[in-house]
């Protein structure tokens, strides 16, 4: 089981801003595909606790991740798993590692009510810069397409300066989005 602190800055983009960044930083590169499958209770008790539980499928591999907010960033608990659970069916809690089960239980999340509630597919480009990892995402979910720039760093203060410089260089206004899982569940609640 891996555990890491994630510090990242995000900005929602228009399609024109997405194309501009793609041309500037990712010329002649093709994105790779990944799909996030979101797990929560029907009452969204995980997201209500500002956490997120997902399975990411990339290259036919599956990784279960619980994200837990910290004073700065998110603490991620990662575990490779063998397969996807069925959508809208109770999750076999045997796939959950002990420390994820412990955290969910400490937050009074009823494990028996966990379900895979839907998925979001992202076409992602990544580029390592001196100051961090630049990530350009085109996401598709529930008939919606959105575009986002992420910047993953190890130092919050230096990362914020570098991220603002990236946006300033391309004359892109700062628009901090909700995270993908919140955007997904907000969109899902509007369609039901």
pLDDT in tens, 144-171: 999 999 999 999 999 999 999 999 999 9
CA distance linking residue 12 with residue 183, whole number of Å: 11
Instruction: Write down the pLDDT at residue 189.
Output: 86
Range of the domain at 40: 2-191
Contacts for 126-130: CB closer than 8 Å, 24+ residues apart: 127/25, 127/26, 127/29, 129/162
CA distance linking residue 185 with residue 40, whole number of Å: 10
Instruction: Write down the pLDDT at residue 9.
Output: 98
Residue 139 has pLDDT above 70, yes or no: yes
Alpha-carbon radius of gyration of the chain: 17
Residue 116 — pLDDT band, cuts 50, 70, 90? Answer: very high
Higher-pLDDT residue of 128, 83: 128
Percent of the chain whose predicted confidence (pLDDT) is above 90: 89
CA distance linking residue 54 with residue 57, whole number of Å: 10
Instruction: Write down the pLDDT at residue 1.
Output: 61
Average pLDDT value over all residues in the chain: 94
User: Per the structure, how many domains does the chain have?
Assistant: 1
Contact 93, 81 (CB under 8 A): no
Percent of the chain whose predicted confidence (pLDDT) is above 70: 99
pLDDT digits (tens, 9 = 90+) for 47-106: 999 999 999 999 989 999 999 999 999 999 999 999 899 998 999 988 899 999 999 999
What CATH number corresponds to the domain at position 186?
2.40.320.10
Number of separate helices (H) and strands (E) present in the chain:
5, 8
């Amino acid at each position: 089981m891996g555990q890491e602190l994630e510090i990242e800055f995000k900005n929602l983009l228009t399609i024109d801003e997405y194309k501009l960044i793609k041309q500037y930083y990712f010329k002649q590169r093709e994105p790779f595909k990944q799909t996030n499958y979101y797990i929560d209770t029907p009452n969204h008790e995980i997201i209500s606790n500002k956490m997120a539980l997902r399975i990411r499928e990339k290259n036919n591999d599956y990784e279960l991740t619980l994200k837990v907010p910290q004073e700065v960033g998110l603490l991620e608990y990662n575990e490779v798993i063998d397969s996807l659970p069925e959508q809208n069916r109770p999750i076999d809690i045997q796939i959950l590692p002990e420390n994820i089960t412990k955290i969910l239980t400490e937050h009074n999340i009823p494990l028996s009510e966990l379900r895979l509630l839907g998925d979001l597919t992202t076409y992602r480009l990544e580029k390592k810069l001196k100051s961090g990892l630049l990530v350009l995402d085109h996401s598709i979910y529930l008939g919606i397409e959105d575009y986002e720039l992420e910047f993953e760093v190890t130092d919050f203060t230096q990362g914020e300066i570098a991220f603002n410089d990236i946006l300033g260089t391309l004359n892109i206004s700062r628009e901090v989005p909700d995270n993908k899982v919140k955007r997904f569940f907000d969109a899902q609640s509007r369609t039901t």
